Structure 1
Amino acid sequence: MNKRNPNAVLDVKEVPKWNQWIILSIQHLFAMFGATILVPMLVGLEPAVALLSSGLGTLAYLIITRGQIPAYLGSSFAFIVPIITAKELDGPESVMIGCFVAGLVYGIVALLLKALGTGWLFTVLPPVVVGPIIMVIGLSLAPTAVDMAMYQTVDNEKFYSLESVVVALITLTVTIIASIFLKGFLKLIPVLIGVVCGYVVAYFFGLVNLEPVKEADWLALPNLLVPYVTYTPDFSWTVVWLIAPVAFVTLAEHTGHQMVLSKVIDRNLIQKPGLHRSVFGDGIATMIGSAIGGPPLTTYGENIGVLAITRVFSVFVIGGAAVAAILFSTIGKVSALISSIPTAVMGGVSILLFGIIASSGLRMLIENKVDFSQQRNLIIASVILVIGIGGAFIQIGDFTLSGMALATLAGILLNLILPGRTKVDPEEMFQTEN
């Protein structure tokens, strides 16, 4: 049994007073809000559904991890490019099937972690493989961010817009200033601050249409995509192979978050409740999201940051944030207001966010002291980057393996085949007192 963390204001299993509970939970809601709604807006899904799935997924995660991991789950950026590509190929319904299979991949990995321990995962996905793949995620999205910042679309025709460029630059500038100069909790929500300021500027430039907000009902259920209720699933191996392998990238991200969170709350979460249970919870949450039309979910670094600053580690606070997200998803005017955000505003914040994703891959390589004077490391990173960013693909009949999935497979195989591989010991990557 874990001892109480003496540095905690509220420890993991402690229940706050009701008035504190509401405020602390809303704080976590704001921390994840900007990034969670950005993903569905970029891929053409409904933001309200993403909020609903994040709330339901987080509650399921807390139950599966036995209330021992105070983690919030929001929309995953890693799946943006595969989802956009899959939608163009086969529509949103097939995308949901691909996302569901990604959740199944988590479940299979969880069973393997339970049976074999964690060592094999770090052998298959060491930093020299995961770092470049994360860089591919960010750099592949660069054209999307720039297009959103520079162009407007009217009657299916895209044209350059100086107003969009100005709005995007102001949004980007405010987001950067907020992330660098603000303190405390405000420092954790630079995306939300940037979007709000950009929205106000865009309104004065005439880029905001508030009519749908005025016409929307206060109470309105999100437009769910439920298999055999709103659509008949159409299984596509091409879509599955586009989306499902990305789970291996987010698995590495998930493991990293568990290590950081272990340090923050001073408990070894890899051992108790175990990485297998955490991964399984993430997989179930992703399957819940895909079953109602939401994007895949992942643990959120923004909310880990809130834990670190406030030292409030209570899972009840996280659960309260999940309930708040579910309630927000049913407010029609909120959904309409989110949908009215101009693409130029999202383009401005995306320039920074996608660049940060790419840079975080580089940071992983640096922090893990990956030696690029070794030829094997140089080869692995180079092949992953060119295949992933270049859009290489293999097609055999109706089967296609492309982009990030192909880059991930190539990196894993090269790492296992090339000589000189060093063993990664996860136990040495973090230490806790308990």
Structure 2
Amino acid sequence: MTKNAVLDINDKPSAGQLITLSFQHMFAMFGATILVPQLVGLSPAIALLTSGIATIIFLIITQFKVPAYLGSSFAFISPIIVVAGIDQTTGASINPGNAMIGAMAVGVTYGVVSLIIWKTGYKWLMRLLPPIVVAPVIMVIGLGLAGTAVGMAMNITVDGVPQYSVLHFSAALVTLFAAIIFTIFFKNILSTMPILLGLIIGYIYSSIIGIVDFTKVHEAAWFALPEFLIPGVHYEFNITSTILLGMVPIVIVTIAEHIGHQLVLGKVVNRNYIKDPGLHRSLLGDGLGTFVSAFIGGPPKTTYGENIGVLAITRVFSVYVILGAAILAILFSFVGKAMALIQTIPTAVLGGISILLFGIIASSGLRMLVENNIDFGNNRNMVIASVILVIGIGGAALRFTETFAIEGMALAAIVGVILNLVLPGRDKEEKEIYETTK
């Protein structure tokens, strides 16, 4: 048993512990998981449902050895907006099927990479995705969405035209500062749920100032099926180069994120998950979870740092608790009143929390550079980071035809990998990027 663990990986909690601790994990992931579909015009209910399903798939494939929860991935917000299109008036996806096809392709890519890792090991992947490539791309993800977050926070749409609103901006600021307070000044379990708590406080404030419309809640049934998006039923399954090039290159970042989470989680529970059950299994679990999620209409999935934080605080590592949280998420997705309530969250509140979230994403890229002691006195590092940032944030595009193009974040990621491989001066020893994998 892991030292100081209240419940270790395979320990079974009592019924009371199981319910309480599972709810705790569900609420830890809840805010971020429902925020992604809200930002890209997908169903919050289907996001919850697929997070539970993907988590169960992940637990099975990792042989119930890795207590990780899978929620909606923020890395794919911008690509989904590009490939699916967002109606600027309604905020709905114009072609959500495109995003689902792209996400399924991402899941397949995870599977291919996991197969290669199974046969050849993982060190080649570490060399292909060093911090000098991954960190600037992570920064692009956050900074590239900065304008979206601020626009949501400040403006309301009148006759299809964004207009500045002091009232709505005040709701965004209340939400933002509430989330900051919970992040900075709380050190217990509340510190792992700043997104959810910020949304709740922002929502209460919005209700007080009269910018929440409860009509949908009154009209909703208590039981309601999530809004599924099935290929061949709700949209035509048509794979295009635009979809693939818009979504798949982002795995450069999400795979690195996955490895990072496995390393951190391994430290928390005192296990080496890169070796047992193996990076190939955890990556396959993530990929299959994403594929199944996209097949029924949910966003791409990733392991959640929020839930790792809960594990670290509670010292309860039991996979049964994670499984309980997944089942609760599935059940909750069918509560129509609750899902309708989520859809009444004002855009300003979502914008306020997004200011913090997108900023944290960008800052985490900066932190990766610092933690890995990247030397910017080295011109090689300076060139790689600079090119990635400007291409990604500037929205550069490499267009071959009207329908075939590589642009924005995807182009930045590809260029970063190529520059790292071809520019002279790579450390010949190529220190283990993730030293704890030794």
Q: Report the TM-score when normalising by structure 1.
A: 0.97
SS of residue in 2 equivalent to 1:298? strand
One-letter identity of the residue aligned with 2:13: P
Summarize the alignment of residues 398-413 of structure 1 with structure 2, pairs less than 5 Å apart.
398-413=403-418
C-alpha separation in 1, matches of 2:426 and 2:45: 45
Q: Structure 1, residues 37-59: CA drift from partner, whole Å, max 9, x if none? A: 00000011111110011000000
Q: Cα RMSD over matched residues? A: 1.2
Name the residue aligned to 2:422.
417
Indicate whether 1:7 and 2:4 are aligned.
Answer: yes
- 3-state secondary structure, aligned to 1:159: strand
Unaligned runs of 5+ in 2: 87-93
Describe how 1:30-429 pairs up with structure 2 within 5 A: 30-88=27-85, 91-397=95-401, 398-422=403-427, 423-425=430-432, 428-429=435-436
More displaced stretch, 157-166 vs 53-62: 157-166
Cα distance between partner residues in 1 of 2:404 and 2:301 = 26
Name whichever of 51-60 and 202-211 sits farther off.
Answer: 202-211
The Cα of 1:424 is off from its aligned counterpart by 3.5
Q: CA deviation at 1:427?
A: 6.1
Q: CA deviation at 1:247?
A: 1.4
Q: Distance between the aligned counterparts of 2:236 and 2:85, measured in 1? A: 18
Amino acid at match of 1:17: S
Q: Report the number of matched residues.
A: 428
Question: What whole-Å deviation, never above 9, does each CA across 1:306-328 have from its counterpart, x for those lacking one?
Answer: 00010100111001000000011
Report the secondary structure of 1:245's partner residue: helix
Q: Deviations over 1:378-400 (max 9, x none)?
A: 00000000000000011111211
Q: What are the superposed Cα offsets for residues 52-95 of structure 1, whole Å, 9 maximum, x if unpaired?
A: 11000000000000000000000000000010011129711111
* Residue identity matched to 2:202: G
Q: 1:154 Cα shift?
A: 3.2
CA distance in 2 between partners of 1:426 and 1:98 (Å): 29
- Partners of 2:127 and 2:433 within 8 A in 1: no
With normalisation by structure 2, the TM-score equals: 0.96
Aligned to 2:90: none
The Cα of 1:428 is off from its aligned counterpart by 2.2
Q: Give the Cα separation in 1 of the matches to 2:436 and 2:100.
A: 35
Please say if residues 263 and 430 of structure 1, whose CA atoms lie closer than 8 Å, have aligned partners that are also in contact.
Answer: no
Partner of 1:372, secondary structure, is: coil
Check the 8 A contact 1:123/1:424 in 2, yes or no: no
Alpha-carbon distance in 1 for matches of 2:353, 2:304: 17
Deviation at 1:426, TM superposition (A): 5.1
Please list the CA deviations of residues 233-267 of structure 1 after superposition, one character each: whole Å capped at 9, or x if unmatched.
12221011101111121000000000001100000
Larger mean Cα displacement after TM superposition, 60-69 or 182-191: 182-191
- Kept in 2, the 8 Å contact 1:148–1:347? The answer is yes
SS in 2 for 1:45: coil
Once residues 284 and 430 of structure 1 are traced to their aligned partners in structure 2, the CA distance between those partners, rounded to angstroms, is: 24
Cα deviations by residue, 1:113-165 (Å, 9 ceiling, x for unpaired): 11111111111100000000000000001001000000011332321111111
Contact 1:122 1:424 in 2 (8 A): no
Which secondary structure does the structure 1 equivalent of 2:38 belong to? Answer: helix
Q: CA deviation at 1:178?
A: 1.0
Please tell me whether the aligned partners of residues 221 and 337 of structure 2 are also in contact (alpha carbons under 8 angstroms). yes
